Amino acid sequence: MGTAKNQPDGRKRRWQQHNADRRQAVLEAALTVLARDLEPGADLSVQQIAEEASVHRTVLYRYFEDRTDLDVAIQQEICNRAGELLLAAVTLEGTPRQIIERIIGAYVGWGAENVAWMRFAERDIAGASVKPLDDAIGQIAEQIELVIGGFLALLDAEVDDEDRDALTPYVFLLVGGVMAAVRSWSSREELRPPAPQFTRLLADVTWLQIEGLAASRNIEVPDVPVEQLLNLKEA
């Protein structure tokens, strides 16, 4: 039988959960201030966060090591929310062109609604050893690369070693280009063209790049749902 000393400390667990809950409440407060009160790119003060969270500013640092830790945690929370939305869009449902437009549309919509969050996530935080946005981009690019790899396998496409080695940086090129375009578009006082048209434009440009590169490798990309290709492969 376990002794009291070896049993989990319930009070310690409750205290840890309390701290985690308070930390999350501070992050929620920071996101609220960013979205509601600040112009995109404006400075976010600890006092603003503390007032929104209904705590004294010195209390914030019970849950964060310092201002750098706080800012990086805010960036991580923003990237987590954007990442969940985008990863949900990276599926094999629809035609290749529809898949591209769905992923881009998810990011355009999120970017239009969360400009201040986007600008904060892009910041270089002094003293930070990590940048959550870079990690988030890497995760999205990895999933897109898996989709492309799976699609090439369905087509029984012959891809040489050099092209396989170049696939990862090529996907980062596509992702980075879309992100840069959305950043420029979302910086305008008036979002024109409107989001649906802008999404279609980005999807057209991205699709032409992919289709053109495939054609240069003698790979024909059929305009049919991927599910249909899966069924043909299994037949």
Per-residue pLDDT of 78-131, as tens digits, reads 999 999 999 999 988 999 999 999 999 999 999 999 999 999 999 999 999 999
What's the pLDDT tens digit per position in 161-176?
Answer: 999 999 999 999 999 9
Contacts of 220 (CB under 8 A, 6+ apart): 155, 214
Position 99 scores a pLDDT of 94
The residue extents of the domains of the chain are 9-64, 68-234
Candidates 175, 171, 183, 176; CA nearest to 110 is: 183
pTM: 0.87
Question: What is the amino acid identity at position 185?
Answer: W
Q: How confident is the model at residue 8 (pLDDT cuts 50, 70, 90)?
A: low
What is the torsional sign of CA 31, 23, 25, 82? positive
The CATH homologous superfamily for domain 9-64 is Homeodomain-like (1.10.10.60)
Judge whether 9-64 and 68-234 match in fold: no
Q: What CATH class has 68-234?
A: mainly alpha
